[in-house]
Amino acid sequence: MTFYSFFAAEGFGLNLNLFETNILNLAVVIFGLYKFLPNFLGGMLERRRKAILVDLEDAEERLATATTSLAKAQKDLAAAEDKAMQIRKDCKARAEAIRLESEKRTVEEMARIKQGAASDLDAEAARVSAQLRREAARLAIEKALATLPGKLDKKTKDKLVSQSIKNMGAV
């Protein structure tokens, strides 16, 4: 039994035969990778690194632009909110002024209507009073004329009728 087979029989073995283990092939491949791969991979990695840096710079520029736009939009929003608040205040003040003006006009109109009604009432009362006075005077004259014919002579009658006519025209 050889040294090589002893280890192989146990399930674990160490093969020291260079041609069977392909150690020379592996050494050539590793040397080739060591010699040529850094230039090939390095160039690829350098190009990739530059592309990533360009993308990062672009992203930073877009971020700066977006931040500036956001700040401007927030400033515009604050200005719009202030303007909306001012418009709301102005509208409330205008509505209050309109309400007060409307109340004032209503009160004035009610006073004018009341004054018109009072003057209409006074005019009607004066008309009725004048009519009642005329009617009372007419009745008094008729009564006096009915009772006086037997008590007065013709001259006194004419004088009384003339005076009564003058008094009726004055009333």
pLDDT in tens, the chain (171 residues): 444 544 445 566 666 666 666 777 788 888 888 887 777 777 888 899 999 999 999 999 999 999 999 999 999 999 999 999 999 999 999 999 999 999 999 999 999 999 988 888 888 889 999 999 888 888 888 887 777 666 767 787 788 788 888 887 765
- Per-state percent for the chain, helix, strand, coil, to nearest 5: 90, 0, 10
Q: Please give the pLDDT value at position 1.
A: 43
Share of the chain above pLDDT 90, in %: 40
pLDDT reported for residue 163: 86
Mean pLDDT, the chain, rounded, equals 83
Q: In sequence order, what E strands does the chain have?
A: none
Cα gap 60→44, rounded to integer Å:
24
For residues 71 and 91, what is the distance between their CA atoms, to the nearest angstrom? 30
Q: What is the DSSP letter of 152?
A: S
Residue 137 tokens read as 């005077």
CA 164 and chain centroid, separation: 80
Report the C-alpha gap between 40 and 47 in whole angstroms. 11
Give the contacts of 152 (CB within 8 A, at least 6 positions apart). Answer: 160
